[in-house]
Structure 1
Amino acid sequence: MRNKIIRLCLVSVIALFSANAQDRKIAKANKSFADYNYYKAISQYEALVENGNTSPEIYQNLGDAYYFNASYEEAAKWYEMLANQGSDAIDKEHMYRYAVSLRTIKKYDESDQWIARLNSAKQGDQRGRNFSSNRDYLKKIDERSGGYTIDSLDINSPESDFSPSFHNENIVFSTARDTSITSKNVHNWNKKEFLNLYTATPSGDNDFTNVGPFSGKLNSKLHESSTAFTKDGKTVYFTRNNGINGKFRRDDDGVSRLQIYRATLKNGKWGNLESMPFNADDHSVAHPTLNKAEDKLYFSSDMPGTMGQSDIWVAEIRKNGSLGTPVNLGPKINSESKETFPFITEDDILYFASDGHPGLGGMDIFATDVKNLENSTIVNLGEPINSIYDDFSLIINNDTRQGYFASNRINGRGSDDIYSFLELRPLDFECLKDIAGIVKDKKTGAMLSNTNIVVYNDKGQKISKTLSKNDGTFTLKGKCNEGNYQVVGEKATYEKGMANFENKNGSPVERIELLLSQIEEAPTGTDLAKYLKLEPIYFDFDKSFIRADARVILEKVLAYMRRYPSAKVDVRSHTDSRANDNYNIALSDRRAKSTIAYLVAQGIDKSRITGDGYGETQLTNDCGNGVPCSKEKHQLNRRSEFIVVD
């Protein structure tokens, strides 16, 4: 008995020791993860999994460690393990990261399903709205692909090279080559590699030479990257880690945040270093770019007011050099994920990298027209600029349409490489919304073909038009502007059919049903122009031939007479008061005969149509003989009317 008790005690001690050892290993892995040491955290977490630990937290952190290190295929594997733990195991943010990871391995259908789940679980998520309004995003990306040629540059090293910028005739870029540390997470706030600024001179063969450090004054023991130069090359805005006297300054989480500094060139040396007023210890500010007038500074930040991991912001640069309060560019550009590495062209086209808009893989490069942002769409540049990997930090010469960007795609020289490109065709930023629908006879339910479909905005302006097909369906494009719209269907012998819809940011394709009621036969004495709500038929001055616009109106009269074969019509033609009275009687008579002849030529029996000319005896206004009137007023009197008779 005593020996049994001893054995039980030993087992309990061993189990307790084992549990404590397991807890210590989890704590060490969690610390590595919290310290952004993802490589070490991955090996520690995977060892725990091999020993039978199936904690959702470990699966989640493993997925994140791979995700933040741009190893998306591995991230997808662990996010799948997390999702398999149950519907409550994976939160909304990890639904999105799982969807992005699936895109990078071209499992687009599965990715779309997870975005749809996110959209259902979190109403109002901008990423979900972006997806809902762009469900055919792969088709659109494919249509835009092929607009560029790209080449890798010889200036790339086995380490990270990225974030090129124009400086006079040269480029300046960021590199980790000085310490031979390779990492794929240069676009995260927690940079671990040692970065310096390098410069290179064009060699004339679409490449560069004379590669070397940019400035001993700007390169320091901290990390420098992402420059933006004024046109004269004498002022630079650049990114650097928060630090004092070459030592990193960290926040409460142990992260040395990124900040933007400004320096000026004097006597060939960079100096007069200034920290931007919106820099802070608790958030990052990075990746500056200047507009053409150099009175606006665009940048990326996770400062208070940011929607997601990082947003694109803009701040005014005043004439005295001071900067205004940063303004967030808003939900059309920014999302709950990452928008970063902005570049603004001379004509205010904003390029930026994002994993919050529908794309091909990790981060894709997008563009939009910020000077007309309300009416502009967000354009994915497509392949070959974008890939299933991370593509970012694009710049482009406004005149030559040649530029550079960075990517961590495979077959490069390092983890991040710089590529040159040439734009072959311009981008189209017109924002169009798909509108689809069907037209039916309200009474019978029959599909109505060849119905005129017109979309109007709330100001009554015509936005788009089309004709319904043989099966009554129609599709057309409308503007993306938010507001109220009306779709009108119009067909001969039918009353107009109308449907209204409200366009909101991110709203999906509009689906419209138009119901048109058949017009009843008009009683004797009715003016068909009023009954059918037709425009009067006008004639040119001193002419009696049928104009093109008149033929459109006559088609509706023809449709009515075909619909009601017993109907008879008296055509009454009128002139204006110019010329003498007898001449005008003769002219109007010719116009009546011309109108009758047109209807007969279209198949209407001659016995059903009569007509007379009334000259200037029945004017519609006061433009009588000798009264000065405009051409437009006179034209109102040159018309034909259609009166139903027995």
Structure 2
Amino acid sequence: MRTTRTLSRFVTLLFLLGFSIQSFSQEEQLMAKAKEQYDRYEYIDAQQSYLRVLEKGYRSAELFKNLGDSYYYNSQFAEAQKWYKELIESYPKEEIEANYFFKYAQCLKSQEKYEEANTYMEQFATRTDNDQRAKIYREHPDYLERIDYQSGRYDMYNLAVNTEFTDYGGTFYNDQYVVFASTRDTLITKRIIDGRTNEAFLELFKANYDKNSGELLEYEKMSNVLNSKFHESSPAFTKDGNTVYFTRIGYGDEKYKRKGTNIPTNRLFVATKNELGEWSEAKPLPINKDGFSMAHPTLNSAEDTMYFVSDMPGGKGNTDIYKVAINPDGTFGTPENLGDRINTEGKETFPFVSASGDLYFASNGHSGLGGLDVFVTKLEPANDEEKLVINVGKPVNSPKDDFAYVIDEVTRRGYVSSNRPGGKGGDDIYSFLETEELRKFCEITIKGVVKDSQTEEIITNAKVTVFDAEYNVIEVMRSDQNGAYETTEKIDCSATYHIRIEKLEYGMAEMQLDTPDTTQVVDLSDYRELRLVRETRLIQPGEDITEQLALNTVYFSFDKYKIKNEAKEALDKVVEAMKKYPEMNIEIRAHTDSRGPKSYNLMLSKKRAEATMEYLISQGIAAERLTAEGYGEQNIINKCVDNVPCSQEEHQQNRRSEFIIIK
């Protein structure tokens, strides 16, 4: 009997063990299949495979990363956010690559959760030293205000030419047409379906361009010579309409495949018209790099330079914008990266060069509203202001992907593509009228070096105060170990400010500054008016040393006498001064606010004075040079006496210590 039960348990154990092994094997197989689909950029299929693994109860950081990415790279930001959240909340943050905090922030932006997004941008910025995206965020954490400043300059509407399928781009052609890309043939000819999108391959269409309304009318497919059985998009035509550069993605040619994979990539092609006005067979450009993507060409006004997008080695991020010279004989120079003023570790794409030399492009690396935003900058900036990369604002930009911006600078009409809610398909083409040019954005940074007027020696720890025209304090700084200071608060252009520098032993220097009307750094290092002159006047008994040292007041918490950490910096300066002047003795006077009984406040103030004295003694000041006295609520410095309503901040002003020189 016992033997039979033992055998039964053994068989059951083997069955459960086998079932467990089989289940684990299925999970591994599904994970491997999902990874293969993910690596082939078949994100829709990969999503389904990863979700099936999740249904079986399997969890891993890799699963959440890839599942989130499969949605993120398909611009399905709400779904991506869900899985990035699982990743970040389920695993130690120090083990998660910084880039996932950036992508999670982008997903939150796409849902207009900007405050939460900024929290994760802060975490991203603290984890990266040299990432351009972090630098841009640190320099302008007020990016939403800057976007709002440029917003409202466009009238914009969805075009009737859009379909339920993918429609994007808009290139001016022969001053009569606009050429765009679309997958709209899906239900007509039963064309081959792209497994990565479950739609037909993109083809080029042209439509009549109504300059008065911006509407696109009577569209038709471009030449079959330009359209192949696979993807074509993003054409750039010469002014005479006889040459076109465009993007093509092919599958059969090994040169199209991403290095080390079977994944197709974008390549740049050129076609010209023959004597009959027909397009010749398109040829790949010699600048294509086998195994890497080259796409979205645009020409400058002189048509001697092409700008395009690539993920070739040597770039900063996902895709960068490059330029290449087109020589008079039709040959090409060497592609050049546009550098980190424009390119980031994110995605820069869809460049367009206007007739006046403005570069418009889409980016998710520069600070935006979510997904891709449209930005503009001068290709050849003449000053600091023109070097700025500026978000063009709403309504061109939205929390979703906005890209493929083009504009006719004569009519101020143009087109932009977007996958924002309310469209007809995945991507739609929107027509716009720019009603107001880019608003002049101007900001000033003030910097300098504090020096001795006679010796030119640098002066450290000098107090530098910037006032506005009415002497309201804008910012207070201290000169560093190199005597340098630099503003971080907003300084307006074309405005009047007063700069004051002061330090014990030197007195004060001050000058008026009228800021320029263009963005720039104003360096005051060589202004003689701001040199400090060493004083010979002795500090007099009865003076408060904190005023002479231009120190922050030492405050106490309500009903407490413990020295705050932020007060120790000021006390250390008192220690420094007393060590420098060994004959100086001081009386520490401590005060309270008016709340509580007078007798209790007097006792509390004495404890505060004694605590302050003990701290100074602990830092090496002899006890005989110090006296401590508590004054309770006898010397209220504002209106906050008994029974007068006051804010916490107003009461705080009275809970203070003074350091009166008695010798």
TM-score (norm 1): 0.68
8 Å Cα contact 1:369-1:429 kept in structure 2:
no
Unaligned runs of 5+ in 1: 182-188, 451-465, 480-486, 499-506, 523-646
Aligned to 1:332: 341
Indicate if the aligned counterparts of 1:391 and 1:406 stay in contact, CA closer than 8 A: yes
Mapping for residues 140-539 of structure 1, pairs under 5 Å: 140-168=146-174, 169-179=176-186, 193-203=200-210, 205-242=213-250, 249=257, 251-266=259-274, 267-372=276-381, 375=384, 376-428=387-439, 432-435=443-446, 467=469, 469-471=471-473, 473=475, 477=491, 489=500, 496=509
Tell me, yes or no, if the aligned pair for 2:256 and 2:267 is still in contact at 8 Å. Answer: no
Contact 1:436/1:476 (<8 A) preserved:
no
Q: Any idea what the Cα deviations from partners look like across 1:154-185, whole Å, max 9, x if unmatched? A: 1111111111100011100011111259xxxx
User: Per the alignment, do residues 347 and 206 of structure 1 end up closer, same or farther by CA in structure 2, a change over 3 Å counting?
Assistant: closer
Amino acid in the other structure paired with 1:26: M
Following superposition, the deviation at residue 359 of structure 1 comes to 0.3
Q: Write the letter of the residue equivalent to 2:357.
A: D
Q: 1:527-566 to 2 correspondence within 5 Å? A: none
CA distance in 1, matches of 2:180, 2:231: 13
Equivalent-residue separation in structure 1 for 2:143 and 2:283 (angstroms)? 43
State the AA in 2 paired with 1:212. Answer: E
Note closer, same or farther for the CA distance 1:356–1:190 as it changes in structure 2 (3 Å cut). Answer: farther
Alignment gaps of 5+ in structure 2: 1-5, 189-195, 451-458, 477-488, 512-519, 538-663
Q: Which amino acid letter does the alignment assign opposite residue 171 of structure 2?
A: S
Q: Which residue of 1 aligns with 2:98?
A: 92
Distance 2:410 2:318 in 1: 34
Which has the larger displacement, 121-130 or 36-45? 36-45
- Tell me the distance in 2 between the aligned counterparts of 1:355 and 1:447: 38
Distance 1:349 1:392 in 2: 16
The verdict on how the C-alpha distance between 1:245 and 1:90 changes in structure 2, with shifts beyond 3 A counting, is closer
Residue identity in the other structure for 2:169: S
Paired residue for 2:134?
128
- TM-score, with normalisation over the residues of structure 2? 0.67
Cα displacement string for residues 570-602 of structure 1 (whole angstroms, at most 9, x for unaligned residues): xxxxxxxxxxxxxxxxxxxxxxxxxxxxxxxxx
Indicate how the Cα distance of structure 1 residues 80 and 443 shifts in structure 2: closer, same or farther if over 3 A, else same.
Answer: closer
Distance 2:255 2:133 in 1: 38
Q: Cα deviation per residue 1:373-419 (whole Å; 9 max; x = unaligned)?
A: 76220010110000001000000002111100100011111110000
Question: What's the offset of the Cα at 1:255?
Answer: 1.3
Question: Aligned pair count?
Answer: 482
Relative to structure 1, the CA distance from residue 419 to residue 510 in structure 2 (aligned partners, 3 Å threshold; closer, same or farther) is: farther
Aligned match of 1:601: none
Residues 428 and 358 of structure 1: is their aligned pair in 2 closer, same or farther, counting only changes over 3 Å? same
Give the aligned residue type for 1:288: P
Post-superposition offset of 1:29: 1.8
Q: Cα distance, 1:424 vs. partner?
A: 1.5
- Report the secondary structure of 1:371's partner residue: coil
Label 1:476 to 1:138 Cα distance change in 2 as closer, same or farther (>3 A): closer
Preserved contact between residue 36 and residue 190 of structure 1 (Cα < 8 Å): no
Residue 86 of structure 1: how far off its partner (Å): 1.8
- Whole-Å separation in 2 of the counterparts to 1:494 and 1:342: 55
1:50 aligned onto 2:58: no
Q: How far has the Cα of 1:212 moved from its partner?
A: 1.0
The answer to whether structure 1 residue 40 and structure 2 residue 45 are counterparts is: yes
State the superposition RMSD in angstroms: 3.7
How many Å apart are 1:252 and its aligned residue?
2.4
Letter in 2 for 1:410: P
Work out whether residues 251 and 257 of structure 1, in 8 Å CA contact, stay in contact via their aligned partners in 2. no
Q: 2:19 aligns with which of 14, 17, 21?
A: 14
- Contact 1:190/1:257, CA 8 A, preserved across alignment: no
Q: Any idea what SS the aligned residue of 1:88 has?
A: helix
SS at 2:239's partner residue? coil
Residue 593 of structure 1 corresponds to none
User: Could you tell me which residue of structure 2 aligns to residue 119 of structure 1?
Assistant: 125
Match of 1:541 in 2: none
Per the alignment, do residues 276 and 4 of structure 1 end up closer, same or farther by CA in structure 2, a change over 3 Å counting?
A: same
Give how far 1:99 is off. 1.1
- Based on CA coordinates, which of the two structures has the bigger radius of gyration? 1
**Structure 2 CA distance, aligned partners of 1:334 and 1:70?**
20
Residue 389 of structure 1 aligns to which amino acid in structure 2? K
Q: Which moved more, 1:149-158 or 1:85-94?
A: 85-94
Q: What is the distance in 2 between the residues matched to 1:116 and 1:6?
A: 57
Shift of 1:6: 2.2
Contact 1:221/1:247 (8 A) holds in 2: no
The 1:339–1:433 alpha-carbon spacing in structure 2 relative to 1, beyond 3 Å, is farther
Q: Distance in 1 between matches of 2:207 and 2:308?
A: 24
Structure 2 CA distance for aligned equivalents of residues 447 and 363 of structure 1: 41
